[in-house]
Amino acid sequence: MITADTTLGEVTEEGLLRSIFPFFTPQPGLLVGPGDDAAVVASSGAVIATTDTMVRGRDWLDEWSSAADVGVKLLTQNLADVAAMGGVGTSVLVTLVADPATPVAWARAFARSVGEGAADAGVAVAGGDLSSAPAGVLLVSITALGDLQGRPAVLRSGARPGDVVAVCGTLGRSAAGLLLLQRGEGAMGQAGAGRREWAGSRDGGMRKLCLAHHRAPVAPLAAGPAAAAAGATAMLDVSDGLLRDGSRIAAASGVRLDLSNAALAPDIETLATAVGEGAARECVLAGGEEHSLLATFPAARLPDSWRAIGTVSDGTGITLDGEPQQPRGWDHFRQEPDTDD
């Protein structure tokens, strides 16, 4: 019998799987689900595929994020990559590599969260893998598959001079949420009390939104295929910061992105109520893990729910009101913020 204290080392793999599979809602496109050598997923002719891993201690801290938060975040960052190609997610494979001392309850809460998030997005949990890890290690990985529905993929390389640069979704909230956690606000243990306290204050609502977006981000997934249908020329999701990710579109397309301070001012102003003006500006320009969509469109074609933040010109790099910007962001193995080399 599984109790609150049961660890993964105390149950069989098959027992664990039996307790997890009910969290996964079948979807029409899943032709063969978990339990065989491999899954089989329907496809309209071109499959989008991407994979992302989260490691405890590097990508989340148990003090700040619940198992359910980790499930949402991992799913979102994978499905945002599918959306950024202009595709619709169809299925995910989920991997858990865990110290056998990990509570079964953590694994079940994570699986439930992934299952519910996937079902909300119409995505099937098609399979996965379980492995034991050295003491203290816990990591989770998802591979997401998607479908282009007959359209060509929207790459990073298609931006053309004269295009509009536009964003769908928030900017800087995840980074602001992390900053609040680093300042000691909103840790798991005190979250309930903290949240109640903020609710009465002017800036409490925004702090809550930032903390929520850092822990369990929501991405505008449907806006990806809609942008593709509307003629987006280049697209990606903001995972490493607006300046760094914008520079990637510029480099891949052989163009310059000119962003406008005035267009970003509302984002900074809103965020400033939570973290202050200076931090808000840095979060909007360089904050990662946001998973909003950044795209370029022919001028006449900006779809609903996108807002223009700049234009595409001949040249290289990225500017803000004409000032060249140095992309800032994260390098995985160096374990600290780093500039592009």
Give the footprint of a second copy on residues 114-153 (CB under 8 A).
126-134, 136-137, 139, 141, 143-146, 148, 153
Q: What is the secondary structure of 153-188 as a DSSP string? A: P--TT---TTPEEEEES-SSHHHHHHHHHHTT-S-G
Strands, E assignment, 99-226: 124-132, 138-147, 164-168
Which tokens go with 242?
A: 């607006």
Site track for a second copy across 227-246, x = CB under 8 A = --------xxx---------
Q: How far is the CB of 48 from a second copy (least distance, A)?
A: 5
For residue 20, which amino acid is it?
I
202 touches a second copy by CB under 8 A: no
Please state whether beta strands 88-98 and 124-132 pair in parallel, antiparallel, or not at all (unpaired). parallel
- Residue 202 or 332: the one with the smaller Cβ distance to a second copy is 332
222 binds a second copy (CB under 8 A): no
Whole-number Å distance between alpha carbons of 88 and 148: 7
CA distance 41 to 122: 13
Q: Give 245 or 267: the residue with its C-beta nearer to a second copy.
A: 245
Of 263, 260, 265, the C-alpha closest to 323 is: 260
Nearer to a second copy, 151 or 195 (CB): 151
The total of other beta-carbon atoms located within 10 Å of residue 263's CB is: 15
Site string for a second copy, 2-41 (x = CB under 8 A): ------xx-xxxxxx--------------xx--xxxxxxx
Number of residues that bind a second copy (CB under 8 A): 79
Q: In terms of CB distance, is 249 or 272 closer to a second copy?
A: 249
State the residue for tokens 């609040």: 180
Give 318's contacts (C-beta < 8 A, 6+ positions apart): 243, 246, 247, 250, 256, 257, 258, 259, 324, 325, 327
DSSP element (H, E) containing 97 = strand 88-98
Chain positions 75 to 94 lying near a second copy, rule: CB under 8 A, are 80-82, 84-85, 87, 91, 93
Task: Tell me: does residue 73 bind a second copy (CB under 8 A).
Answer: no
Q: Which is nearer to a second copy, 190 or 339 (CB)?
A: 339
Considering the complex, state which of residue 29 and residue 186 has its C-beta at the smaller distance from a second copy.
29
Minimal distance, residue 128 CB to a second copy, in Å = 6
> Which residue number, 240 or 258, has a Cβ lying nearer to a second copy?
240
- Kind and range of the H or E element at 237? strand 234-237
Q: Report the site for a second copy in 247-266 (rule: CB under 8 A).
A: 252
On whether the CB atoms of residues 290 and 175 are closer than 8 A, the answer is yes
Residues 97-116 that bind a second copy (CB under 8 A): 97-98, 100
Structure tokens at 153: 């993929």
One of 5, 63, 304, 341 touching a second copy (CB under 8 A): 341
Q: Looking only at residues 268 through 327 of this chain, which bind a second copy when binding is defined by CB under 8 A?
A: none
End-to-end CA distance of the chain: 54
Q: Whole-number minimum distance, CB 202 to a second copy, in Å?
A: 37
Min CB(199)–a second copy separation in Å: 36
CB of 252 closer than 8 Å to CB of 129: no
When the beta carbons of 42 and 229 are compared against a second copy, the nearer one is: 42
